[in-house]
Amino acid sequence: MYLLSGLAYLTSTRILADATSSPDCKCRPSQSCWPDSHAWSRLNITTNGALIKTIPPGIVCYPGPAYDKDACEKISELSIHHGWISDNPFNVMQPGWNGNPCPPTNNTETNTTCNGLLGDPVYVINATDASQVEAGVKFAKKYDIRLIIKNTGHEFLGRSSGAHSLRIWTHNMRKVEFTESFKPKNCAKVATHSAVTVGAGMQWRDLVIQAAPHKKLLVTGGNPTVGCIGGFLQGGGHSPVSSKYGMAVDQVLEFNLVTPSGKYITANECENADYFWALRGGGGGTFGVVTSATLKTYPTQPINLMIQTFNMTSNDTDIFWEFMGYVNSQIPRISRAGLMGYTFMYGDGTGKFGYAAALHMVNGSIEAGTEALQPIYDIALTDKYKDHIVGQQRNVTFPDFATYFLFFFQEENVGSTAVLPSRLLDERALTEDPVFFATTLKKMFNGYVGAYLSHIVAGPGVAQYKNASMALNPAWRRTYSHLIAASGWDTPEQREPVVSYAKNVLEYNLRKLAPDSGQYLNEALYGSEGWQAANWGENYPRLFEFKNKIDPDGVLYCFNCVGSEKWVEGKDGYAYLLFCILAFYTANTGAILGRDTALWWFVPKSKYLKDSAKLAVIHAKLVTVATEHGDSADSIYPAKSELGTLFFTLELPIGISPDSAWQSLKTFLISWGEVPYEIIDIPIQEHVKPKPGLRRPKKPKGGNLNKTRNSIHPRAPPSGADLRKIDVFREPFYEMQKLSQPPGLKMSDLNGFYFRRSNALGEGVTVYMPDTGAYIDDEEGTQHKEFQDINLVDYLWAGPGAGDVKRDFQHHGYHGTAVLSKIAGKRVGTAPNADIVVAQCVNGKGELSTAHYFDCLLKIYDHIVENKPRAAIINMSWSYDTIDHSIPDLAPIKEPSMEEEPDRVPTNQMIERYSFLLISEFEKLGVKLVTSSGNFAPFLGSRLRFDHWLQLTERVAKETPLLLPARHISEFKNSLIVVGSSGWKDENKCQFVKEMRCWAPGTNVQVAGYDETGSDILTPADGTSVSSPTVAGMLASFISAGLTPDNAVQQLYKLCHKRVPNGVPIVFNGIQYTEWPHVYGQQEQSEEYILP
């Protein structure tokens, strides 16, 4: 962010939500939309008496008419067993995530209230056939009631629960049918396979018992009470035998399900293939209610189990963890040898640690398994370890899989509310640096950690399906160990510190072990950061699009499931749709506007974006508000695009306090009764003190400034262009020399020269620049020397209050002009021959808010759709932000707490999800987005009190990016390039974003500017705002050299390299030393420039 404090991007925000009835915010019993008793009675008749009114079992433990001491004691005893929970239509395994509103406990002194409906459904359908499921789905859709699915309730993230909901309980759909020759429906050319068709309610223990007489082996779960085909299977399903046969989801031949529209269908690779793709790894409770599935079966095999333990015999914990680093580094090797199973690293309560492994081979021998484990025993007997660690092994042979499963997997008691930060670890993570691995394990383990659980359940068996097309996280195909740092909490006061440690320490460090991997969505941290990419990787955009297609109204919704970012739950569990009408209100901005003004931003409900009739109603309502507050209809701005009308803005003068104006508008919205609303306070961009010596150029009188083409006619690269032709420059621009520095050479080896390919400087590539605008001409219409040959094909303006003059702004530090020069500058740019489209996000009054920036992106989207450039890149040096309210200087107006406003929707969710949707649309068009990562904390220090600066520095140290869209890097790995800035010593000078792969010079970089007389000059600038366009231009140059956009991105990353050992990987233009001209010919000089 060149010349600007990062604070310039930060906003102070507040959101409130009103519980008015709405088709898009789930109905609850207190509202008029809730079905009356006659409607529920009709549903009961339709489902043949399957409807059950929720009565929390724990109610017998609380004072009142239901209190029964004997019944309470019995339920308290039963409630710790998984079997009782799975057989009960109301309870779930992890009620803590929903507040555990009515626990069955005898301690009535401390639990005096049973608030059962806080996390429980109001009614349950005890489904035994598909027609009852159809009826339930259609009923929930008709009345807009939250619908949730439960089979066994064996679920770690509370996704089988939901307040004010209707639950479909599939536990009693238990039909099982084995066959030796199953062929999927309408798949004539697909080979048959031995298989079993399983009803939705079956659990693995029962199915294994039924498979035994058929002498069949199944790819089961690792717990006897887990359901076979619900969330386990649809989330991927790792198995004790998946290292040989693949994941459980790899075994699916066919699904039968009820879709979110209430239609019963069959899905396989030949029929409803899109459902078949999504259900295999996309997660349960999202794409439909699965009523049965057909799974492959295999001939049963003997299982040889090796139980291995290592215990400390000294107090040297460093030695133990070092040994664990080695043991884990052996996982890929033993997995390839045929071993699979589970390992545990735990504290024994005395300050010492232990290790236990239960590893087995399918149809392998004890001798082969022991041979594979022998190197571990050999290391343990070396001088380094023999006095500190002792190991032993016990072997057990089982004649078949069923015997092994029923012996090894026993029903467990329900314990604490589980907190399960996890990571899928590939071979590199396990073997590249065992010392780092061991150090990480040691520093994470404390009183919050119960044990580390390594599931050796992937490897060769899972990798064999790497080319199968399904929604499963692709990271599974590279995985050898699914590692969980298990934690948990028992009482509500423990929840916050345990979850905080799990997120800030455990999840953070696990991700450092394998930054490019992911996590298992069924065993992950509740509220995991970046859960979309972590759970599904590159498959998430397709899943999100499919979810919106088949379930636009959110009939099926569950926590951290695909599409759930459109929803938020209030403190009472009530579900609000994020994309209802939002009102963004700015603070007093008289200094910029010349009058006291408020700017409101309204986002229509997602299904109305292209509904002209509904949009007309919204517009008319806003006109009424405007006229009632002393303004005209002209103050309303619709942000229209090919995507629809994404939002309206309304600018009103405020003669009284802003709060009074809002109360008037709030009253109007409540009386309207059409939709709920949220209010977000966001200040329009404040004035920023300009850099000394940089003044606004004299106002242009015409000339080339307003001479741009109305549409794009891209210049294609010259046919048969000679890419060997190299231009040589000798300029005092260290950053340009840095870009020309090949691996193995020092800067001094360039002797002050830098190089560019003559015929690969962005030709035929369109680079869009959403920014503050650009000054290209001076008063006489003469272009800045850097822009003399610029190919400016169009200039766009964003609203509200859009300008109509091509210009830049002094109080924004001429940010856009500087950024443009790093792309299209004659000497300092990396793509001077690219086609340029400037999109001025600052309006005609010099105002900038999040609404302006999003409208700017919409203008670019439409331009791309209309003009269809051969290749398009968007450089986003000017980013938008989310807010950290723990730092007072970043949030003068604090958000109310959840206790103060229990229905509040966090502001950051709104901005981040809207950002995600827009980038998804650009990705569909094949557009590459290059963005700044954000500047390192010291750049912000002058604007913060010292203690607040320290807080911000700590955030940076935790790799938590402040800016969007950089935060989306993991969701759009090949479409979003996040760029950092390097300093004089090639050190990191940016806010480090996870998975960043490239940096560019960002200190004392020469950019286009004007001096105090209005003359054009080059002037130094710092920050990621000048690093990002450098990379955008370089990407354009690679495309113009003949690479596809996707290959150009890979080439960009491939060429990045460190110039010094402790430096960051800086981009390189690819011109090797062997290509340099032997005689540096007639170089262009820079005497004509005024260099401060």
Rounded Cα distance between 274 and 560, Å, is 21
The CA-CA-CA angle for residues 972, 508, 437, to 5°, reads 110
Strands 766-771 and 872-876: parallel
> In 3D, which of 1057, 1010, 1005, 1050 has the Cα closest to residue 1030?
1005
Query: How sure is the predictor about 328, in pLDDT bands with cuts at 50, 70 and 90?
Result: very high
* Longest CA span, the chain: 99
- Is the same domain home to 317 and 446? yes
For residue 117, what pLDDT is reported? 54
The CA-CA-CA angle for residues 434, 973, 821, to 5°, reads 115
Identified catalytic residue from 144, 771, 855, 1022 = 771
* pLDDT tens sequence across 345-383: 999 888 899 999 999 999 999 999 999 999 999 999 999
Domain for residue 77, yes or no?
A: no
pLDDT at 721 over 50: no
Top mean-pLDDT range of 83-97, 616-630, 662-676: 83-97
Which residues neighbour 416 within 8 Å (Cβ) at sequence distance 6 or greater? 96, 488, 489, 490
Which residues neighbour 272 within 8 Å (Cβ) at sequence distance 6 or greater? 265, 266
Mean pLDDT of 794-820: 88
Mean pLDDT of 914-918: 81
pLDDT at 165 over 80: yes
- Is the same domain home to 959 and 971? yes
- Supply φ then ψ for residue 1005, to 5 degrees: -85, 135
Domain for residue 45, yes or no?
A: no
Q: What is the pTM of this model?
A: 0.65
> In 3D, which of 677, 462, 649 has the Cα closest to residue 582?
677
What's the half-sphere exposure (Cβ side, CA atoms, 13 Å) at 671? 8
- Is the same domain home to 278 and 348? no
- Is the same domain home to 283 and 207? yes
- Is the same domain home to 650 and 711? no
Top mean-pLDDT range of 15-24, 798-807, 1028-1037: 1028-1037
Residue numbers of the domain that contains 212? 176-299+548-555
Please provide the average confidence, as pLDDT, over all residues in the chain. Answer: 80
> What is the rounded end-to-end Cα distance, in angstroms, of the chain?
21
- Residue 981 near residue 975, CB atoms below 8 Å: no
Top mean-pLDDT range of 19-28, 343-352, 712-721, 949-958: 343-352
Between residues 1078 and 354, the one the model is more confident about:
354
- At position 479, the amino acid (one-letter code) is T
pLDDT at 174 over 90: yes
For residue 1009, what pLDDT is reported? 84
Domain for residue 23, yes or no?
A: no
> In 3D, which of 374, 322, 366 has the Cα closest to residue 345?
322
- Is the same domain home to 388 and 352? yes
pLDDT at 91 over 90: no
- Supply φ then ψ for residue 439, to 5 degrees: -60, -40
- Residue 102 near residue 59, CB atoms below 8 Å: yes
User: Which of helix, strand or coil describes residue 75?
Assistant: helix
Stretch among 2-6, 131-135, 438-442, 881-885 having the lowest mean pLDDT: 2-6
- Residue 898 near residue 570, CB atoms below 8 Å: no
Query: How sure is the predictor about 1054, in pLDDT bands with cuts at 50, 70 and 90?
Result: very high
> In 3D, which of 150, 156, 157 has the Cα closest to residue 171?
150
Domain for residue 583, yes or no?
A: yes
Tokens for 1090, please give them.
């005024």
- Is the same domain home to 919 and 828? yes
* pLDDT tens sequence across 918-928: 898 999 999 99
pLDDT at 881 over 70: no
Domain for residue 682, yes or no?
A: no
Domain for residue 199, yes or no?
A: yes
CB atoms within 10 A of CB 883: 21
- Residue 423 near residue 437, CB atoms below 8 Å: no
- Is the same domain home to 216 and 237? yes
Query: How sure is the predictor about 892, in pLDDT bands with cuts at 50, 70 and 90?
Result: very low
1025 is catalytic: yes
Rounded Cα distance between 500 and 496, Å, is 6
Query: How sure is the predictor about 661, in pLDDT bands with cuts at 50, 70 and 90?
Result: low
**In this prediction, what percent of the chain has a pLDDT beyond 70?**
77
418 alpha-carbon distance from chain centroid: 22
Identified catalytic residue from 238, 455, 815, 852 = 815
Stretch among 141-150, 624-633, 886-895 having the lowest mean pLDDT: 886-895
CATH code, 911: 3.40.50.200
Residue with the two structure tokens 């209050």: 801
Mean pLDDT of 76-83: 82
* pLDDT tens sequence across 456-493: 999 999 999 999 999 999 999 999 999 999 988 877 78
Mean pLDDT of 658-687: 43
- Residue 293 near residue 212, CB atoms below 8 Å: no
- Is the same domain home to 268 and 313? no
Rounded Cα distance between 1071 and 504, Å, is 42
pLDDT at 507 over 80: yes
Query: How sure is the predictor about 55, in pLDDT bands with cuts at 50, 70 and 90?
Result: confident
User: Which of helix, strand or coil describes residue 1009?
Assistant: strand
Of all helices (H) and strands (E), which one includes residue 427?
helix 427-431
CB atoms within 10 A of CB 114: 22
For residue 943, what pLDDT is reported? 34
377 alpha-carbon distance from chain centroid: 42
What b/e sequence results for 420-454 when a residue is b if at least 16 CB atoms lie within 10 Å of its CB, and e otherwise? Answer: bbbbbbbbebbbeebeebbbbbbebbeebbbbbbb
Strands 928-932 and 976-982: parallel
pLDDT at 2 over 50: no
Q: How is residue 980 annotated by DSSP?
A: E
- Residue 799 near residue 649, CB atoms below 8 Å: yes
Rounded Cα distance between 535 and 562, Å, is 10
Domain for residue 285, yes or no?
A: yes
For residue 731, what pLDDT is reported? 78
Phi-psi category of residue 693: left, alpha or beta, with phi > 0 → left and psi -120 to 50 → alpha? left
Stretch among 51-60, 365-374, 586-595, 713-722 having the lowest mean pLDDT: 586-595
CB atoms within 10 A of CB 814: 31
For residue 754, what pLDDT is reported? 87
Q: How is residue 639 annotated by DSSP?
A: E
Stretch among 28-42, 817-831, 950-964 having the lowest mean pLDDT: 950-964
Rounded Cα distance between 887 and 383, Å, is 52
Q: How is residue 988 annotated by DSSP?
A: B
Rounded Cα distance between 457 and 360, Å, is 11
Q: How is residue 894 annotated by DSSP?
A: P
User: Which of helix, strand or coil describes residue 875?
Assistant: strand
Number of domains observed in the structure of the chain: 4
Alpha helices in 12-157, H assignment, sequence order: 37-46, 69-78, 82-86, 130-143
771 is catalytic: yes
Of all helices (H) and strands (E), which one includes residue 341?
strand 340-347
Rounded Cα distance between 797 and 818, Å, is 18
- At position 854, the amino acid (one-letter code) is F
For residue 1081, what pLDDT is reported? 42
Torsion sign over Cα 395, 400, 401, 402: negative
Cis omega before residue 800 (within 30°)?
yes
For residue 723, what pLDDT is reported? 57
Domain for residue 633, yes or no?
A: yes
For residue 329, what pLDDT is reported? 97
Identified catalytic residue from 242, 454, 879, 1025 = 1025
pLDDT at 607 over 70: no
User: Which of helix, strand or coil describes residue 834?
Assistant: coil
The CA-CA-CA angle for residues 998, 983, 1066, to 5°, reads 25
User: Which of helix, strand or coil describes residue 685?
Assistant: coil
User: Which of helix, strand or coil describes residue 46?
Assistant: helix
CATH code, 663: 3.30.1360
Rounded Cα distance between 320 and 390, Å, is 11
- Is the same domain home to 439 and 525? yes
Between residues 584 and 200, the one the model is more confident about:
200
Alpha helices in 938-979, H assignment, sequence order: 946-957
pLDDT at 249 over 80: yes
- Is the same domain home to 1007 and 889? yes
- Is the same domain home to 276 and 316? no
What's the half-sphere exposure (Cβ side, CA atoms, 13 Å) at 737? 15
pLDDT at 1012 over 90: no
Stretch among 119-128, 376-385, 480-489, 565-574 having the lowest mean pLDDT: 565-574
Rounded Cα distance between 482 and 269, Å, is 28
What's the half-sphere exposure (Cβ side, CA atoms, 13 Å) at 1069? 32
Inter-axis angle of helices 850-867 and 907-924, nearest 10: 10
Rounded Cα distance between 264 and 133, Å, is 9
